[in-house]
């Protein structure tokens, strides 16, 4: 992945308050209209024209911009590795990081980075915008300014939020708990099963009880992804042929089934038989609820007891975004059996005990 590094001249005093790196990957945030009215990526060297208040933050800002900004619909694990690589290379020299990313798959990327970046002691704040920064009513300005405030905030000698997180529309959310729920309003992201890490108003109120403490260990990065996973969303009337086509894929290593309610699924003999056959053949099958709130509790009802008995693993209250990225990473780092042992453990606060 090729990228350009730019230092933003904000006429700083000799000693800035903090050093923060902005990583621009693409997305709506950094778009401006050209003379013909077409949206195109803007030059970050001109960011002070759009955000002159950056000078008031007293921060030393460095921008790393992907040479070919990507629409978030095109995000792949290779892009997650590129972001993690930038953070790893510049970790010691920065106090925090802000990642500008398209909103459509931001929750996948923030989840992936939450699992990849082990032993964090510095903030990695994802943000973006529903409207381009060039638009008069854009949410990009407030989102970036507050994300920078959070990424640079400290308490004593420690960062206030040493986590991968998402800041959007006045709320700070744990990265592996975020889910995009809106495409037409500014409150695009939600964390249904975990409280906000902070709320921004006149001041930024940090929910310290919900925030991980900084790790005393040095940063380590998990980098191996196995993409041989699939998601099977259940619906009334799903056919045996459809399920068989998925679970009998010989290259598949991990399968997430999106079930109803607290983890319930059809009790039809053919359905359980297909899953049992696949699990016996080595497939890791994870149960995630279609509901944004609540959690999978296998065995609570008769309609989930059969899944438990054949070896389906309950995913508790993980989001589908966290489940997909966690499964790919665990399969890559530890193989099927290692992933089977770890998938039900909380690695980055993505699930409740």
β-strand 18-24 against 96-100: which pairing, if any?
Answer: parallel
At residue 264, the 3 state secondary structure works out as: strand
* Pick from 326, 287, 339: nearest CA to 309: 287
Residue given tokens 């993980």 in the structure block:
318
CA 329 to chain centroid, in Å, comes to 13
DSSP assignment, residue 236?
A: T
β-strand 220-221 against 117-118: which pairing, if any?
Answer: antiparallel
Residue given tokens 């999106």 in the structure block:
258
* Pick from 344, 351, 352, 347: nearest CA to 308: 344
Are 314 and 351 a contacting pair, CB within 8 Å? Answer: no
Other CB atoms within a 10 A radius of the CB of residue 255 amount to: 23
Angle at 109 between CA 107 and CA 111, to 5 degrees: 65
Active-site option among 4, 10, 25, 28: 28
> Residues 6 or more apart from 197 whose CB is under 8 A from it?
161, 163, 165, 172, 173, 174, 206, 207, 210, 211
| Phi, psi dihedral angles at 194 (to 5 degrees) | -150, 140
CA atoms within 13 A on the CB side of 207: 13
Q: How far apart are CA 31 and CA 40, in angstroms?
A: 5
User: Active-site residue 53, yes or no?
Assistant: no
User: Rounded to a whole number, what is the largest CA-CA distance in the chain?
Assistant: 72
* Pick from 81, 113, 104, 110: nearest CA to 172: 110
Catalytic residues: 28
């Amino acid at each position: 992945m090729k990228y350009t590094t730019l230092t933003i001249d904000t006429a700083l005093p000799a000693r800035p308050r903090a050093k923060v790196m902005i990583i621009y990957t693409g997305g709506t945030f950094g778009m401006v209209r050209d003379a013909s009215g077409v949206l195109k990526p803007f030059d970050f060297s001109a960011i002070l024209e759009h955000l002159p208040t950056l000078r008031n933050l007293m921060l030393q800002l460095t921008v790393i911009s992907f040479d070919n900004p990507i629409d978030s619909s095109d995000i792949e694990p290779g892009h997650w590795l590129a972001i993690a690589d930038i953070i790893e290379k510049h970790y010691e020299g920065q106090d925090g990081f802000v990642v500008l990313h398209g909103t459509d798959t931001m929750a996948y990327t923030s989840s992936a980075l939450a699992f990849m970046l082990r032993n964090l002691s510095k903030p990695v704040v994802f943000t973006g915008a529903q409207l381009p920064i060039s638009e008069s009513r854009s949410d990009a300005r407030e989102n970036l300014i507050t994300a920078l405030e959070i990424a640079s905030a400290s308490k004593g000698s420690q960062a206030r939020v040493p986590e991968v997180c998402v800041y959007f529309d006045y709320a700070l959310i744990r990265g592996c708990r975020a889910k995009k729920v809106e495409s037409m309003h500014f409150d695009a992201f939600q964390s249904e099963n975990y409280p906000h890490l902070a709320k921004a108003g006149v001041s930024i109120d940090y929910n310290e009880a919900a925030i991980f403490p900084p790790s005393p260990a040095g940063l380590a990065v998990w980098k191996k992804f196995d993409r041989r996973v699939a998601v099977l969303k259940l619906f009334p009337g799903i056919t045996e042929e459809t399920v068989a086509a998925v679970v009998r894929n010989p290259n598949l290593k991990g399968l997430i089934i999106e079930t109803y309610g607290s983890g319930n699924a059809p009790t039809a003999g053919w359905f359980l038989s297909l899953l049992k056959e696949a699990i016996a053949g080595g497939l890791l099958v994870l149960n995630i609820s279609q509901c944004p709130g609540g959690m999978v509790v296998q065995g609570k009802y008769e309609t989930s007891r059969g899944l438990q008995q054949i070896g389906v693993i309950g995913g508790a209250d993980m989001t589908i975004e966290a489940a997909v990225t966690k499964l790919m990473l665990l399969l890559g780092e530890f193989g099927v059996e290692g992933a089977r042992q770890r998938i039900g453990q909380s690695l980055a606060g993505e699930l409740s005990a």
